Structure 1
Amino acid sequence: MTTAAPLRIGVLGCADIAVRRMMPAMAALPETEVTAVASRDPEKAAAAAAPHGAAAVHGYEALLRREDVDAVYVPLPAALHAEWTEAALRAGKHVLAEKPLTTDPERTAALLDLAARSGLALMENVMFVHHRLHTDVRKLVADGAIGELRALHASFGIPRLPATDIRHDPELGGGALGDVGVYPLRAALHLLGDELDVLGAHLVRGAGSRVETAGGALLATPSGVTAHLAFGMDHGYRSAYELWGSEGRLIVERAYTPPADHRPVVRLETRTGTEERLLDADDQVRNTVAAFAASVRAGAGVAHDRETPLRQARLLDAVRRRAAPS
């Protein structure tokens, strides 16, 4: 691969997020291209690869052996992320892996170490942090728009999933905490900083489910700012957070998965009234792919963001350990 050549990406699996969102973004960017798509089902691989002129590959191992693949995107079920991320790194490929990177913080640390030793980029696909909305929000808070920050309330919930959905399968790493709970938890890291402790947590297993379908957690910074998190996958849809300060509140709806043409609205409530600020649309999927390509080209490996995915993994683990499932 030369400096001017696009980053050639192979995709392990035909998950909906890969087909519907990630591969179109990879194909649209001049910095990247979809070179190959692998599946254990040859027909699925062919159907996913065809729109991008990519090679259809039977089996994940075969894709990792291809010399025309510089980097690998891993959209497999959560329980398979560690195995195939490690295999890709050992094959000399840069990796963009779906969240959570693994279901175990020690395994996450080991993969980050492997990437660093190998001089390879390893990035977890948490897309909303690449939307400039959240940069604007952090600037408003830093500029004192709501006074001194006191608390964050963050929630993400989706409607009930079919019983056959892989997110109900514990063997595949299913459960609300890793699937939807990671969004408000990452929002807390992104907006409050890295020094968060889990003070309490609760996970709820819905009737007939083998995994938790809802939960909540209370976290806090050393200075006493609290983060109240709620999440679930048997809920009316909600994707939001609120920052509460000494002089007002800042509220963001559609916070985590906005479409590229959506213009976010930040609602600012203070004693002088309510103001709604309409921000520019932004494409967080495109931004994420571009950030991954930039990391590869810079030769930065994981140095650009090694600690955040590790802290996220440790916090997810701490929430699970503190929880009392019912």
Structure 2
Amino acid sequence: MTAAPTGAAPLRVGVLGCASVARRRLMPALAALPETELTAVASRDAGRAREFAALHGCVPVHGYAALLARDDIDAVYVPLPAALHGEWIAAALRAGKHVLAEKPLTTSAQRTAQLLAEARDRRLVLMENVMFLHHGQHAAVRRLVHTERSIGELRFLRAVFAVPPRPADDIRYRADLGGGALWDVGVYPVRAALHLLGDALTVCGAALTRAAGYEVDTSGAALLRTSNGVFAHLSFGLEQAYASTYELWGSEGRIVLDQAFTPPADHRPLVRLQHASGNEGVRLDAEDQVVGTLRAWVAAVRSGTTPDDGTLRQAELLDEIRRHAGG
């Protein structure tokens, strides 16, 4: 990703909400990047706003609407629960702010389409925070598969993202806040399939399961197919040992990528190629996908354009998976 032009004023960013992902990953990067200025953080709890603001020397704001009314904010980052995204993304766009929102953008393809259209109409950038897309390891895999044809004709993709159980009161288990495995972790393998196979995907079948005592799906799987017959098997869950990987099978070999979706900034990816004649590995440089994401967002704001990054198609596929699963 390229930085903002030399001499350009930093993008002044406010944060709507005090989610852990904001505290751990996005706020430190926003504060450190020269292209962005972390200006304010808002919470419905004034004390929590002060706590988060003190970490980075920005302004605490009591209430999301109050932050959106500030004239020293150019853009907002929205790490709220998924069920609140639609309301506050729309409010931010009406306030003339560019938006980076946590995934999924909304829990409805129709609502996602409406918000993307509103952003275009207002000439604002609305970007979904799917950070793994901004790590170069996936471009390297695409090059090996589609340009160098290192595994021959592509036949099959398997992608998995799963995390261990959270505390029982975690928002990921609340239906009223848009929780559930599909929305929280299913986004990753679905987006990987789009990124690696293209958007001509259809859902052949899907299943979602709910662990005893929970009101949302806690694991699931889906089978997708491209128009030329490549299958994608996607698995995801909130109650398994950690897994973050995908594999691509071809007529002449296989590619495996571990640490696919949430690699640490100092992780040097290893793309493993397996052939009948032997195995080899391609070691890549470490990258910080949080920084890559923020720079992509700033670049889109500076240029006035948002690349077609698959957000709407992803939302449509998530809807299809839920319908196939009877959800």
CA distance in 1, matches of 2:165, 2:145: 35
CA distance in 2, matches of 1:262, 1:86: 36
Distance (whole Å) between structure 1 residues aligned to residue 108 and residue 204 of structure 2? 20
Deviates more, 1:23-32 or 1:239-248: 23-32
Q: Secondary structure of 1:120's match?
A: coil
Structure 1 runs, 4 residues or longer, greater than 6 Å off: none
Following the alignment from structure 1 to structure 2, what is the Cα–Cα distance between the partners of residues 315 and 258?
Answer: 25
Distance 1:100 1:218 in 2: 20
Q: Percent identity?
A: 63
Q: Within 5 A, what are the aligned runs for 1:83-162?
A: 83-142=87-146, 143-162=148-167
1:149-169 Cα shifts (integer Å, max 9, x gaps) = 000000000001111000000
- Deviation string 1:193-226 (CA, Å, 9 cap, x unpaired) is 0110000000001111100000000001000000
Aligned to 1:312: 314
Task: Provide Cα deviations, 1:71-116, integer angstroms capped at 9, x if missing partner.
Answer: 0100000000111000000000000000000000110000001000
Task: Return the alpha-carbon distance in structure 1 between the equivalents of residues 56 and 171 of structure 2.
Answer: 27
Structure 2 counterpart of 1:236, which letter? A
1:244 paired to 2:246: no
Give the counterpart letter for 1:288 in structure 2: T
List aligned pairs for 1:260-275, cutoff 5 A: 260-275=265-280
- Name 1:63's counterpart in structure 2: 67
Q: What residue number does 1:214 align with?
A: 219
State the TM-score, normalizing by the size of structure 1. 0.97
Match of 1:225 in 2: 230
2:294 and 2:23 map into 1 onto residues whose CA distance is 14
Question: Aligned partners of 2:318, 2:82: CA distance in 1, in Å?
Answer: 13
Question: Which residue number in structure 2 is paired with residue 284 of structure 1?
Answer: 289
How do residues 38-77 of structure 1 correspond to structure 2 at under 5 angstroms?
A: 38-77=42-81
Residue aligned with 1:219, SS: strand
Q: Given the two structures, how large is their TM-score scaled by the length of structure 2?
A: 0.97
CA shift at 1:69, angstroms? Answer: 0.3
Alpha-carbon RMSD:
1.1
User: Offset at 1:305?
Assistant: 2.1
SS at match of 1:68: coil
2:179 to 152, 174, 190: 174
Deviation track 1:295-316 (CA, whole Å, cap 9, x = no partner) reads: 001111x3x126x100000000
Three-state SS of the structure 1 residue aligned to 2:206 is: strand
Structure 2 distance, partners of 1:126, 1:248, is 29
2:190 is the alignment partner of 1:188:
no
Per the alignment, in what secondary structure is the counterpart of residue 277 of structure 1?
strand
| Separation in 2, partners of 1:293, 1:257 | 21
1:194 partner letter: D
Letter in 2 for 1:69: I
C-alpha separation in 2, matches of 1:270 and 1:235: 30
Letter in 1 for 2:292: N
Aligned residue type for 2:38: V
Q: Distance in 2 between matches of 1:242 and 1:96?
A: 29
Offset at residue 324 of structure 1 (A):
4.0
Secondary structure, counterpart of 2:84 in structure 1: helix
Return the alpha-carbon distance in structure 2 between the equivalents of residues 192 and 130 of structure 1: 17
Q: Offset of 1:51 from its aligned partner?
A: 2.5
Amino acid at match of 2:215: R
Q: Distance in 2 between matches of 1:110 and 1:260?
A: 34
* SS at 1:305 equivalent: coil
| Paired residue type of 1:305 | D
Letter in 1 for 2:212: A
Looking at structure 2, the residues matched to 63 and 57 of structure 1 have their Cα atoms a distance apart, in angstroms, of: 6
Cα offset for 1:53?
1.7
Alignment match, 2:323: 321
Residue 13 of structure 1 deviates from its aligned partner by 0.5
